[in-house]
Amino acid sequence: MAGVNKVILVGHLGKDPEIRVIGNDRKVAKFTLATTETYKDNSGQRVESTEWHNVEFWGPIADVIERFLKKGSQVFVEGRIRTRSYDDKDGIKRYVTEIVGQNMTMLGGKPSGGGGANESPAEYNESTFTPTKANNSYGAKPASRDTPPPFAQADPGEDDLPF
């Protein structure tokens, strides 16, 4: 017990996401995500290195991905690492490591394609579309992400603050 398995990525989609529906109504969106880092090698040369991640999202977020993300889209992804095994065509056990997404935030620029009016497609997590009742089981005003308690917004640029 007592484990944490968290991944945070910011990158661009390598291709349009691939959407599959499994069974009756389980939708999964898969895409590859490139995270590129720049560093200097031993000779002081600036080098670029790209890592490719296999990302998948299940449930309502898959709908959002289908509608708003495409090749080249920049996204923030939060998820967990999962390594699966499978047997390849020669019957040899092989492994693949994927990111099972939990939250997704679209970055840099307005969404395009498919989007209806009055949408705010920028940010999503596993409970985005969960009926309100779902989290209401423990009180009238649960302080979950879905319904934070009211608070006055601090403006950190005010007179008395030394910032």
Cβ of residue 35: shortest distance to its own copies, in angstroms? 4
Q: Which of 78, 111, 127, 142 binds DNA (CB under 7 A)?
A: 111
Rounded to whole angstroms, the Cα distance separating 163 from 161 reads 5
Which residues face 74 on adjacent strands?
12
Indicate whether 136 belongs to the interface with DNA (CB under 7 A): no
Cβ of residue 137: shortest distance to DNA, in angstroms? 26
Residues 64-103 that bind DNA (CB under 7 A): 71-72, 74
Q: What angle do CA 47, 52, 58 make, to 5 degrees?
A: 150
Q: How many residues bind DNA (CB under 7 A)?
A: 24
Distances (CA, A) of 17 to 7, 41, 52, 69: 19, 34, 14, 7
Q: Which of 26, 47, 50, 112 binds DNA (CB under 7 A)?
A: 50
Distances (CA, A) of 123 to 22, 104, 129: 24, 6, 12
Indicate whether 92 belongs to the interface with its own copies (CB under 8 A): yes
Indicate whether 71 belongs to the interface with its own copies (CB under 8 A): no
